[in-house]
Chains A and B, each alone.
Chain A
């Protein structure tokens, strides 16, 4: 564990995108490559100024494909690296995210979600990339994705994203949105020394002894950087997990690698998945909400509780791997789950699968670039407590 170097002040007024940039610096990221796109551009602008100050590299690449490619290259050369984008750029990055997943390259991709598809609603928030984050690249793979719902979380989850990517040697996606990214809040940043900063480390053996065979689900071996005596080979082809050499002729090698790439995330699900529960202890109705929508949902839970109505909030901070255990627990307790989201049923389907018929799932989607307000969620809660005499309205 190393102590983070940061010059960020303790209590500051920060924009979500600025907080992501400062969080990356605090996490030890020293390489950013990106391409301007609304509503993520401030991350690039802040890092264009900040990266060189801390001895890091900022490059504005020719497009988003080049950006994620350069990030992969920098990571392979030993740097903690990130890129930031929004919907159209995130779509362009998918192939190289698959490469990072296959070749086990630690890196962080920030997707500040906006209305889509295509150019869509460039300046308006949305949560339409939830499934793209999970399945955007082709083929079987696993992924870690985090969803901040405050400016403070933009900072802390960026640090967490780097830690997870370094530990599990995998791309980690931060799903922010136009509201969270552009919102300003007073944030008390954690003391730099109090942050947990994970680093990939170096193999503790001689090059001729280096053998990925000893890399197990419980002990994911660090890969030496490019340009060392280890002379590693990195490939997007199916490779023999033991030797690292491409092997597309042996079905057993392909199955072994595929299983390993999937299981190395799922095996650690308990350590990776974070869910925040508010007033869930005796809740009869739960609201499952994430990102900016969780802010409206929290206001509704407080309003209901003030009137003695048992409503709780389940807020996934980790959305991939999906917090199945938390939803499973919730399904055994509540009568209904309300899933408001700025898309059409993307996570509500996942909730339904985990609830598996044990509770009613009420979905509510908006795709017009407008926020889901507390009033809209209140109306959904009222339907579930139709027998209650509400005090206001």
Chain B
């Protein structure tokens, strides 16, 4: 589906941590079987198609029953993924995907709920839902398409736009520092936090698969490329060059030096945090049992 995915080269893509599932990439026809639409409204060179493919690859690799998959999405470029995927899908309001997904999962715990959001969607307008979903440790997989800008509205500053970056609303350079979404999720209580890039396709599939397999709130930050807005304003409008820059900036978590690497605008990728803690819907089920015992006795 995406010109950026060269099946011949997938084998060379880094896989990430040994404790993650190892998904063998599926063929384009296998992937397409889970798409409703052949066309998207994403710009040429956008990596959202790659990330969408990685999600399907992960679900296929885990052999999840497709009728039990629910994708809840917000508003923005990433939100459109809901209409393209052939699962049960909900295209909600801007920022509200996690709150809607909380209702879906609590009402039917048998579902695999994936929450597709953008960076502004999840951390600006939906920031409150983001930290509380993480705090509750509800068994959802938040997949954040982070392109560091508001793409759908034409390139405005988001909470992940870096200090000094240009956008149509930071004409003289962004005066606000960026959120690190993985640190935010970790601090708020997420029990699975991972990051990968559109460039490292197999690692991206594996960290998404790890998130879906994890019982608890998992957050996967997929570093996206937006050559049309973010790239053109700040780095490069050439998608290939942009992907090469991702390769340079993404440092395997084990090799990441917090002090040294950060100042060079690099970020750790792979599984960043993993813990076991009581899951929210399980806790709600136990509450029902306690309440029934109390009312019977």
Interface residues, chain A, with chain B CB atoms under 8 Å away: 7, 30-31, 33, 49, 52-53, 55-57, 59, 61-63, 65-67, 69-79, 81, 95-96, 99, 225-237, 245-246
Q: Check A31 against B106 for contact (C-beta < 8 Å).
A: yes
Q: CB within 8 A of B106: which of A49, A70, A234?
A: A70
Q: Check A66 against B132 for contact (C-beta < 8 Å).
A: yes
Selected A-B contacts with CB under 8 Å, 28 pairs: A30-B107, A33-B102, A33-B103, A52-B284, A52-B292, A53-B292, A55-B288, A56-B288, A57-B107, A59-B284, A65-B96, A69-B99, A70-B106, A72-B100, A76-B90, A76-B104, A77-B111, A81-B107, A226-B111, A227-B67, A227-B68, A230-B88, A231-B86, A233-B91, A234-B90, A235-B90, A245-B83, A246-B83
CB distance from B110 to the nearest CB of A (A): 7
Complex Cα distance, B222 from A103, in Å, reads 29
Complex Cα distance, B94 from A99, in Å, reads 11
Q: CB within 8 A of A62: which of B68, B105, B128, B292?
A: B128
Interface residues, chain B, with chain A CB atoms under 8 Å away: 36, 66-70, 72, 82-83, 86-93, 96, 99-108, 110-111, 128-129, 132, 284, 287-288, 290-292, 294-295
Which residues of B have CB within 8 Å of A49? Answer: 291
CB distance from A178 to the nearest CB of B (A): 27
Contacts known (A52-B288, A53-B291, A62-B129); A69 close to B92, Cβ less than 8 A? yes
Which residues of A have CB within 8 Å of B66? Answer: 231
Which residues of A have CB within 8 Å of B89? Answer: 231-234
Q: Check B103 against A52 for contact (C-beta < 8 Å).
A: no
Complex Cα distance, B83 from A65, in Å, reads 24
Q: Check A227 against B70 for contact (C-beta < 8 Å).
A: yes
Complex Cα distance, B107 from A226, in Å, reads 10
Complex Cα distance, B128 from A62, in Å, reads 7
Which residue from chain B places its CB closest to the CB of A98 in the assembled complex?
A: B93
Which residue from chain A places its CB closest to the CB of B69 in the assembled complex?
A: A227
Q: Check A235 against B288 for contact (C-beta < 8 Å).
A: no
Q: Check B91 against A235 for contact (C-beta < 8 Å).
A: yes
Q: CB within 8 A of B103: which of A81, A233, A236?
A: A81
Q: Check B90 against A73 for contact (C-beta < 8 Å).
A: yes
Which residues of A have CB within 8 Å of B90? Answer: 73, 76, 226, 233-235
Q: CB within 8 A of B82: which of A52, A78, A79, A233?
A: A233
Q: Check A69 against B88 for contact (C-beta < 8 Å).
A: no
Q: CB within 8 A of B87: which of A59, A71, A231?
A: A231
Complex Cα distance, B92 from A71, in Å, reads 12
Q: Check B108 against A225 for contact (C-beta < 8 Å).
A: yes
Contacts known (A53-B291, A55-B288); A236 close to B92, Cβ less than 8 A? yes
Q: Check A231 against B67 for contact (C-beta < 8 Å).
A: yes
Which residue from chain B places its CB closest to the CB of A229 in the assembled complex?
A: B67
- Which of A78, A227, A237, A246 has the most chain B CB atoms inside 10 A of its CB? A227
Contacts known (A53-B295, A226-B90); A73 close to B102, Cβ less than 8 A? yes
Which residues of A have CB within 8 Å of B106? Answer: 31, 57, 59, 70, 74
Which residue from chain B places its CB closest to the CB of A30 in the assembled complex?
A: B107
Complex Cα distance, B102 from A75, in Å, reads 12
CB distance from A6 to the nearest CB of B (A): 13
Q: Check B102 against A234 for contact (C-beta < 8 Å).
A: no
Q: Check A73 against B287 for contact (C-beta < 8 Å).
A: no
Q: Check A70 against B103 for contact (C-beta < 8 Å).
A: yes
Complex Cα distance, B68 from A52, in Å, reads 25
Which residues of B have CB within 8 Å of A75? Answer: 103, 107
CB distance from B36 to the nearest CB of A (A): 7
Complex Cα distance, B138 from A61, in Å, reads 13
- Which of B72, B91, B103 has the most chain A CB atoms inside 10 A of its CB? B103
Which residues of B have CB within 8 Å of A7? Answer: 295
- Which of B36, B66, B83 has the most chain A CB atoms inside 10 A of its CB? B83
Which residues of B have CB within 8 Å of A99? Answer: 92-93, 96
Complex Cα distance, B220 from A86, in Å, reads 36
Which residue from chain B places its CB closest to the CB of A31 in the assembled complex?
A: B107
Which residues of A have CB within 8 Å of B105? Answer: 73
Contacts known (A225-B108, A233-B36, A233-B83); A72 close to B128, Cβ less than 8 A? no
CB distance from A66 to the nearest CB of B (A): 4
Which residues of A have CB within 8 Å of B72? Answer: 73
Which residues of A have CB within 8 Å of B110? Answer: 227
Complex Cα distance, B241 from A389, in Å, reads 93
Q: Check A69 against B104 for contact (C-beta < 8 Å).
A: no
Which residue from chain A places its CB closest to the CB of B37 in the assembled complex?
A: A245
Which residues of B have CB within 8 Å of A52? Answer: 284, 287-288, 290-292
Which residue from chain A places its CB closest to the CB of B70 in the assembled complex?
A: A226
Complex Cα distance, B66 from A229, in Å, reads 8
Q: Check A69 against B103 for contact (C-beta < 8 Å).
A: yes
Complex Cα distance, B102 from A81, in Å, reads 13
Complex Cα distance, B100 from A7, in Å, reads 30
CB distance from B84 to the nearest CB of A (A): 10
Q: Check B107 against A74 for contact (C-beta < 8 Å).
A: yes
Q: Check B129 against A227 for contact (C-beta < 8 Å).
A: no
Across the A-B interface, the 8 shortest Cβ-Cβ residue pairs: A73-B103, A52-B291, A70-B103, A69-B99, A74-B107, A77-B107, A74-B103, A66-B99
Q: Check B132 against A226 for contact (C-beta < 8 Å).
A: no
